[in-house]
Amino acid sequence: MTDYVVKLRYYPGDALEEIKERNLKSLALKYGVQISYEKIENRQMKQGLLMENTLDKRIEDISQEVITVSGDREKKFADCIRALYKRYRCPRTVYSLLGSNEAGEKIAKSLMNIHGGW
Amino acid sequence: MKILALNGSFRKNGNTEILLKQALMGAESEGAQVEILRLTDYKISPCRGCGLCLFRENVCQVKDDDVSLIFSKVKECDGVILGSPCYFLELTAVIKQLIDRCWILGHQIGKIKKPATVIVPYATRGWIPYIAAQSNILLNVMGLTKINEAAICVQGISEVVLDQEALDVAYRMGREIAVAIRKKDFTYMGEEGVCPSCHDWLVRILKDRETVECPTCGVRGKLSMVNGKIRVKFEKKALKDNRFDPEVSYNHFTYHIAPSKDYFLRTKEERKSKFPKYQEYLPD
């Protein structure tokens, strides 16, 4: 079992730049961690804006990009999270780490103040 | 054309009111109808933090005060002149109280096209760091576009009548806003500042010590020294991340606020088990 697992949930517009799978792959290689990526898109163009009703939806079902990072070595795992935050900014909702394990969430949270604003 | 002055000063015929009246006279000279509201004459209750307005448009739990009247006056007018003294580094408490109540207007950010201008009398140079930020918050969340601002150094009660230059500035600003409305041109006319969106001089250093952020609109940039001068550079793409931009604001309500209901419901049992400790400790 992997020691550290974190899910970073970026809602539309939350990441500072486009999340590209090839960038994630090179980060995984660099830090010796596993990274997977999932994009959920449920928005529809209305009144010139991409819109979506999210009020009574499950968090996992609304539009978002989810980067899942897992690894066994704390330092490498933390460095990878830091690199992701530096590039994309940290995800900013209170539930942005939903689905992470406790050890992974603790590291991801501790780095948020540095790259997410304070 | 109707121009509304919002006065954040308690003091009748004080410097703020004099400068606002002077600005309104300038606006009248350009054909505007004018009105002034002294905000402290109205009941502005504190926001209760219930969050209802975040989930449903035009719903506020606080019904026994005058905030909806103030909002309707802002809605009816074509432009706003905001005035407030700066007593202690910031605008007055009534302005802050009104800002807190403005969440209900958050859904309409970017949907209104009206100009606003800001006049702040203050006493001590260097004691006004947050006035632009606070006025920007209020104007932005009300959906108004700031076209100018002036901080006027003056101290004693009504002393501003002795400062013809300050009176001229206020009069000119009143004329400017009327002209802006007539020409439908809301180009910013004031001092540029470092943030291209807010025209403020404040920046916040992030803890990575590499990035700076405009604390009001949230756009990010980099600091550098050019010819011995501090330079703050915001990339063009970063400017799109302005929290008062209609799309960014829509995303905030849609993806940050609304889904928090799901999280709230999921954590209900855990909260119920941990909450009584605090309910029982130092009860009302």
- Domain containing A97 — which CATH number? 3.30.70
What are A5's strand-pairing partners? A70
Number of separate domains in chain B: 1
Does B227 map to a domain?
Answer: no
Mean of all residue pLDDT scores within chain B: 94
Does B196 map to a domain?
Answer: no
Chain A residue at shortest CA distance from B206: A117
Q: Are the beta carbons of A114 and B206 separated by less than 8 Å?
A: yes
Residues of B in contact with A45 (CB under 8 A): none
Residue B220, chain A, CB below 8 Å: the answer is: yes
C-alpha–C-alpha distance, residues B119 and B128, integer Å: 12
Q: What is the pLDDT of residues B71-96, one digit of tens each?
A: 999 999 999 999 999 999 999 999 99
Number of separate domains in chain A: 1
Q: Are the beta carbons of B255 and A115 separated by less than 8 Å?
A: no
The owner of tokens 């004459």 is B41
Q: Are the beta carbons of A115 and B259 separated by less than 8 Å?
A: no
Does B120 map to a domain?
Answer: yes
Confidence of residue A113 (pLDDT cuts 50, 70, 90): confident
In terms of residue numbers, what domain contains B75?
2-183
Residue A37, chain B, CB below 8 Å: the answer is: no
A97-101, A108-112, B51-55: which has the minimum mean pLDDT?
Answer: B51-55
User: The CATH number of the domain where B67 resides is what?
Assistant: 3.40.50.360
Q: Are the beta carbons of A54 and B259 separated by less than 8 Å?
A: yes
Confidence of residue B105 (pLDDT cuts 50, 70, 90): confident
User: What is the ipTM, given to two decimal places?
Assistant: 0.92
Where residue B123 falls (left for φ over 0; alpha for ψ -120 to 50; beta otherwise) is: alpha
Mean of all residue pLDDT scores within chain A: 94
Does B37 map to a domain?
Answer: yes
Report the gap between the CA of A31 and the closest CA in chain B (Å): 20
Confidence of residue A118 (pLDDT cuts 50, 70, 90): low
Confidence of residue B62 (pLDDT cuts 50, 70, 90): very high
Report the gap between the CA of B237 and the closest CA in chain A (Å): 9
Q: What is the pLDDT of residues B208-266, one digit of tens each?
A: 899 999 999 999 999 999 999 999 999 888 898 999 988 898 899 999 999 999 999 99
Range A59-84 average pLDDT: 97
Does B170 map to a domain?
Answer: yes
Position B110 pLDDT exceeds 70: no
In terms of residue numbers, what domain contains A26?
4-115
Residue B108: predicted pLDDT: 67
- Which residues are within 8 A (CB) of B141 and not within 5 positions of it... i.e. 6 or more apart? B99, B102, B103, B105, B106, B109, B244
pTM for this structure?
0.92
